[in-house]
Amino acid sequence: MRGEHGYTNPGSFWRPSAIAALPGAGDRAIDDHAASRLWGTTLARPLAVVLLVLVVVAALAIAAAWYLFATDVRRMEETPAAATPPGSRNVGACGLGLRDDRTTSSGQWVNLAQMGEARQEVAVAELGGRIYAVGGFRSDGSTADTVEVYDSSADRWEFVTPLPIPLNHAAAAAIGDTLYVIGGHRSDGPSVDTVYAYDPSSRRWASRAPMPTARGALAVGVVNGKIYAAGGSPDPRERDFAAYDPATDTWTVLPPMPTPRNHLAASGIDGTFYAVGGRSGSIGGITPVLEAFDVATSSWQARTPMPTARGGIAGAAAHGCLFVFGGEGNPRDPAGTFEQTEVYDPSTDTWQSLASMIEPRHGIGAAARGDRIYVPGGATVQGFGAAGGHQAFDLGGP
């Protein structure tokens, strides 16, 4: 169609009436429109079904999750807290008990049967579940060859075969089924290099290879099946350090202990030998020093000192920690003794003060069995004053 000016109006061409006027255009338009509607209807129905299925599945999943959550909450509310099995306890660092507020307990002391003979400067060790107290000074000042064994199940001491010679200030350790008594002083004063092995099955003593040097008031500890012996008196022996191998009955001289001392305590823990406290020279020369010997590298290292400097102490390892008890050289106590119980945790290089001793003593030994550390004998006054007292430190106390 042309306008008045002779050109075609494009708008009129695209009007529906114009399209319908084209030959066959109307039929094609109707077919295309129907096909579009058919295609849309055919596609929409499946999509709607799929969407409906997804909604239903999601709703079911949410309902199931809620049901499980509600069931778990109800079960937790209805189930009582598990009771602590008989004979067990909550345990914190160093095997110490845990209070209800989750703080670590300070342990407690308990009185046990006294030794049959009062003695100080005794050697103490645990073997086969029993506690051995060997040698020492009697109350009259004489040196004893006495050996007593404590049975914790019966709370009773028993005398067994005496030492081959009387000894005071010896040290004791057990490996396997044998008790070893190392060094010490004889009745007339001189120190000895002797090593005696005791077989509880035959109740007999036998001599073993002597120490490289003679000394008493030393301290020993077991690491990897060997007995390490540190320090001692007389003064020239205060840094001596050597290891005994029972398998070969031989001694090996090791690097000297950095701090000279005697009347110290020692123990072996996880491949390391620890030497703590003691004194050099006179009773007043006490030290809080703690030094560790790594057997793998054969080297010494200083660790955090003990809070209380003291000598004439006892030490024992339990639950991976070093416990130290008592001592002498206390200028603030009329009797000159210490009541302190302190524990060292190697994993944190820290000390903790625990319950004080019932009866402050020095010249004592200590041995651990289970959750108790047994501390028999000793003296209640600085110097001489042998007592037959026997107490144990209970790690599970309040």
Do residues 116 and 43 share a domain?
no
278 shares a domain with 195: yes
Residue 84 lies in a domain: no
168 is a domain residue: yes
- Is the residue at 10 inside a domain? no
Given 30, 48, 78, the domain boundary residue is 78
Tell me: do 160 and 55 sit in the same domain. Answer: no
Look at residue 223 and tell me if it is in a domain.
Answer: yes
Residues 243 and 386 in one domain: yes
Alpha-carbon distance 170 to 154, whole Å? 27
4: in domain: no
pLDDT at 41: 52
Confidence of residue 44 (pLDDT cuts 50, 70, 90): low
Same domain, 210 and 346: yes
- CB-based burial label for 314 (10 Å; 0-12, 13-18, 19+): buried
**Structural domain of 54:** 20-78
Instruction: Identify whether 88 is part of a domain.
Output: no
Query: According to the model, what pLDDT value does residue 338 have?
Result: 98
Give 73-82 contacts, CB < 8 A, sequence gap 24+.
none
Domain co-membership, 152 together with 30? no
Domain shared by 187 and 253, yes or no:
yes
% the chain with pLDDT above 70? 76
Of the three residues 31, 47, 78, the one that is the final residue of a domain is: 78
* CATH number reported for the structural domain that contains residue 166 in this entry: 2.120.10.80
8 has pLDDT over 60: no
Residues 317 and 172 both lie in one domain: yes
Contact call for residues 226 and 244 (beta carbons, < 8 A) = yes
Same domain (yes/no): 72, 197:
no
CA distance 348 to 108: 23
**Average pLDDT of 388-397?**
91
Tokens 């020692």 belong to 266
Q: How many domains does the chain have?
A: 2
In this prediction, residue 190 carries a pLDDT of 93
Is 306 contained in some domain? Answer: yes
pLDDT tens digits, one per residue of 141-188: 999 999 999 999 999 999 999 999 999 999 999 999 999 999 999 998
CA distances from 8 to 18, 22, 37, 138, 294 (A): 12, 15, 33, 139, 108
Identify whether residues 261 and 315 lie together within a single domain.
Answer: yes
Whether 308 and 198 map to the same domain: the answer is yes
- Examine residue 86 and state whether it is found in any structural domain, yes or no: no
Q: What angle do CA 93, 95, 97 make, to 5 degrees?
A: 85
Residues 314 and 358 in one domain: yes
